[in-house]
Amino acid sequence: MPVLILASSSVYRQQLLHKLGLDFTCMSPNIDETAHPLETAAELVQRLAEQKAYAVAQHEPKALIIGSDQVCVNQGQILGKPGILANAKAQLLAASGQTLTFYTGLAVYDAAQQKMHSVVEPFSVTFRDLSEAQIARYLALEPALDCAGAFKCEGLGISLFKRMDGRDPNSLVGLPLIALVELLDQCGIAVP
């Protein structure tokens, strides 16, 4: 089996990949993640996932490299990571009663064969109607400042939802494992 590299510094993606029981290392791809003009959310995450894998391949030309990227879309607007508490509060207020779609781009690049396999996984979350007090209590307990959408579905963030729709809830955390197993299989890596 070739060396497997996760092109990410995200601890969340690392934790998810550990679920598959594969040996892997991590390398931060350090790419420009700016959206191109008129680029859709799905196009953006697919391009960035692939670019992350290509960037790591420059240093590891024989590896199998996993790249992933995610954005959240609320009413046509792409949301990033809030970064600060005021932005997190604003994102959650805007999400109240709304259905948000998360797009996760996933790429597996076989650098030795120069073959790219990629997919975009959508996952939708419908939020409950949230009061400012509920949002403040949530952020006091779990300030998800480094998560698109300002919540952690694997934690208390689940209490903010009315409904979840999609093939793989791991997509919300940033690494769709069902799709990853399929892409690894295309590269000759069987899981389990």
Which positions ≥6 away from 37 have C-beta within 8 Å?
none
Report the candidate in 27, 146, 13, 22 with the shortest Cα–Cα distance to residue 68: 13
Q: In sequence order, what DSSP letters do the residues of the chain get, joined into one string? A: ---EEE----HHHHHHHHTTT---EE-------PPPTT--HHHHHHHHHHHHHHHHHTT-TTSEEEEEEEEEEETTEEE----SHHHHHHHHHHHTT-EEEEEEEEEEEETTTTEEEEEEEEEEEEEPP--HHHHHHHHHH---TTSTTS--TTTGGGGGEEEEEES-THHHHT--HHHHHHHHHHTT----
The answer to whether residue 146 is catalytic is no
> Which one is catalytic: 23, 32, 69, 129?
69
Active site positions, annotated = 69
